[in-house]
């Protein structure tokens, strides 16, 4: 961008090391940098402490150290309406959503971007491990160079306007170098543990958290042969391929091998399990996806050969996309895929370029 015109970048600062180094790098590059802390979830821990207080205190210390202004904005109403309601609805329907993808689409690169623009920012910046490349008049989303931290999967819903207005300064670095730079600069966040859990909600006992919004609905746990061997608390608490937390003890006539969720019978409120990690019900060569976002703004001609991930951290899988409608397609994989889960996102790649993604509707 032309720094002689509008030089102002607003960094979405979270109180973590990645956003801290993002702000530091931009200031080193000569930009006018401000930070904006987003409060997106109103909740308290069991001891009554606000879950975001430590993060905002760390963000304040980082901004003091870097000598940059810190703004705050409460986007909790947007998060509830545009992300969390969808999250609950999907779980109630027996699907397994990924709120982090929707959070990026609706909050970080929409509500936050709009607020930052109103504050006079030319662009926003975040601590995502991804890269943006401009090819003529098109902005491409590329994987982060650190393959272990690449977060392009979570950014698959971004469009051309959002990419044009965004910067990912640490996308060219690996995590170890980010921490090293933070330590050398004396930033308090240099050794802070990475956040995990639901976007902005953080680490909480998941079933206990979900039960506050979706009451338990007990039902039978059955084998693939139809034998009842236990009781579940609600099919929405479980996901395909899950092994832990089933509460199945010794079963007469069965081995001591672990049990896995292989199917959810929503209509009958039944959880179907098997002792085979690679049970046929867990494997498929294809799926149907909808609500697809093509980052370029145009769907490629199909059949379209590319790679895809049907969950984060999965290795790229070779596949072929066929158009059903503009925002709906079928995907056929070259190799069998385990535990493809409706509600999750499938994200498409052409080598290092993320070309788009959509929501998995059904499994073939």
Q: Which residues lie below 8 Å from residue 252, measured CB to CB, with a gap of 6+?
A: none
Q: Which residues lie below 8 Å from residue 4, measured CB to CB, with a gap of 6+?
A: none
Bridge-based pairing state of the strands 345-350 and 304-309: antiparallel
Query: How far is Cα of residue 19 from the mean position of the Cα atoms in its chain?
Result: 17
Q: Which residues lie below 8 Å from residue 161, measured CB to CB, with a gap of 6+?
A: none
Task: Report how far residue 106's alpha carbon sits from residue 87's, in angstroms, rounded to the nearest whole number.
Answer: 13
Q: Catalytic annotation on 156?
A: no
Q: What are phi and psi of 81, to 5 degrees?
A: -75, -40
Give the CB-side neighbour count of residue 205, counting CA atoms within 13 A. Answer: 7
Taking the CA atoms of 112, 129, 68 and 53 in sequence, report the sign of the dihedral they define. positive
Among residues 349, 360, 350, 338, the alpha carbon closest in space to that of 285 is found at 338
Structure tokens at 143: 């994987």
Query: How far is Cα of residue 146 from the mean position of the Cα atoms in its chain?
Result: 17
Task: Indicate which residue of 63, 103, 306, 329 is catalytic.
Answer: 103
Q: Residues 177, 170: contact at Cβ < 8 Å? A: no
Q: Catalytic annotation on 319?
A: no
Q: What are phi and psi of 18, to 5 degrees?
A: -65, -45
Q: Which residues lie below 8 Å from residue 220, measured CB to CB, with a gap of 6+?
A: 228, 230, 231, 232, 269, 270, 271
Task: Report how far residue 264's alpha carbon sits from residue 363's, in angstroms, rounded to the nearest whole number.
Answer: 13
Task: Indicate which residue of 50, 63, 156, 199 is catalytic.
Answer: 199
Among residues 35, 47, 45, 29, the alpha carbon closest in space to that of 10 is found at 35
Task: Report how far residue 199's alpha carbon sits from residue 106's, in angstroms, rounded to the nearest whole number.
Answer: 12
Structure tokens at 209: 């958290």
DSSP, collapsed to helix, strand or coil, labels residue 330 as: strand
Active-site positions read 103, 199
């Amino acid at each position: 961008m032309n720094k002689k015109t509008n030089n102002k970048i607003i960094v979405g600062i979270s109180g973590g090391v990645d956003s801290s180094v993002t702000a530091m790098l931009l200031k080193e590059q000569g930009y006018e940098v401000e930070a904006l802390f987003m409060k997106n979830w109103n909740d308290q821990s069991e001891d009554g402490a606000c879950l975001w207080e430590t993060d905002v205190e760390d963000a304040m210390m980082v901004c003091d150290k870097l000598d940059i202004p810190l703004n705050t904005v409460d986007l909790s109403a947007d998060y509830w309406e545009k992300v969390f309601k969808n999250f609950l609805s999907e779980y109630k329907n027996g699907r397994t959503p990924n709120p982090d993808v929707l959070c990026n689409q609706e909050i970080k690169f929409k509500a936050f971007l709009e607020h930052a623009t109103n504050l006079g920012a030319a662009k926003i910046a975040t601590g995502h491990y991804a890269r943006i490349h401009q090819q003529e008049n098109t902005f491409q989303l590329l994987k982060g160079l650190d393959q272990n931290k690449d977060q392009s999967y979570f950014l698959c819903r971004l469009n051309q306007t959002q990419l044009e207005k965004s910067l990912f300064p640490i996308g060219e670095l690996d995590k170890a170098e980010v921490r090293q730079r933070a330590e050398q600069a004396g930033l308090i966040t240099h050794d802070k543990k990475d956040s995990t859990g639901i976007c902005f909600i953080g680490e909480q006992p998941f079933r206990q958290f979900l039960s506050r919004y979706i009451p338990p609905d007990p039902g039978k746990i059955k084998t693939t042969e139809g034998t009842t061997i236990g009781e579940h608390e609600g099919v929405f608490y479980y996901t395909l391929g899950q092994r832990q937390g089933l509460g199945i003890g010794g079963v007469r006539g069965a081995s001591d091998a672990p049990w896995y969720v292989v199917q959810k019978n929503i209509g009958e409120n039944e959880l179907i399990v098997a002792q085979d990690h690679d049970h046929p019900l867990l494997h498929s060569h294809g799926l149907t996806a909808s609500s697809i976002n093509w980052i370029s703004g145009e769907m490629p001609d199909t059949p379209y050969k590319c790679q895809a991930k049907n969950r984060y951290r999965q290795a790229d899988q070779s596949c072929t996309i066929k158009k059903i409608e503009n925002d709906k397609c079928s995907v056929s994989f070259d190799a069998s895929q385990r535990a493809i889960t409706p509600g999750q996102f499938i994200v498409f790649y052409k080598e290092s370029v993320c070309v788009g993604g959509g929501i998995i509707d059904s499994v073939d």
